[in-house]
């Protein structure tokens, strides 16, 4: 099969967030990158059992935040919705693990 060299290759991007409600007022960017770095971020998240959300628009916004910095207030609502979803998935998973 022949590859079309004129087609743009879509590079994967990933941003990892960390939120410790006891230490910070907002989530911080823990890691960010594209290509091989993104693949590594995704692989480590999968290995750790961390839920991955595929949201290209959100990644574009988060990729502008420097590593180690808190997300800007403009993204609080969006990230809160993502965290609510992740917590819900985690609760459902925990309940399934503890069912007889």
| Residue extents of the structural domains in the chain | 13-97
The predicted structure's pLDDT at residue 66: 96
pLDDT on residue 7: 47
Strand partners, 70: 28
What pLDDT sits at residue 82? 80
% of the chain with per-residue pLDDT over 70 = 83
What average pLDDT score do residues 73-100 get?
Answer: 78
Three-state SS at 3: coil
pLDDT, one tens digit per residue, over 28-75 is: 999 999 999 999 999 999 999 887 888 888 899 999 999 999 999 998
What is the pLDDT, as a whole number, of residue 4? 47
Choosing among 3.90.76.10, 3.40.1690.10, 3.40.30.10, 3.40.50.1370, the CATH entry for 13-97 is 3.40.1690.10
């Amino acid at each position: 099969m022949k590859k079309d060299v004129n087609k743009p290759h879509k590079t994967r991007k990933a941003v990892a967030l960390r939120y410790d409600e006891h230490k910070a007022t907002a989530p911080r960017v823990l890691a960010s990158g594209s290509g091989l770095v993104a693949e590594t971020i995704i692989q480590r998240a999968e290995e750790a059992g961390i839920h991955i959300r595929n949201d290209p628009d959100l990644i574009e916004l988060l990729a502008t935040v420097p590593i180690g910095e808190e997300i800007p207030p403009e993204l609080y609502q969006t990230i809160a919705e993502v965290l609510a979803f992740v917590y819900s998935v985690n609760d459902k998973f925990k309940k399934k693990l503890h069912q007889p």
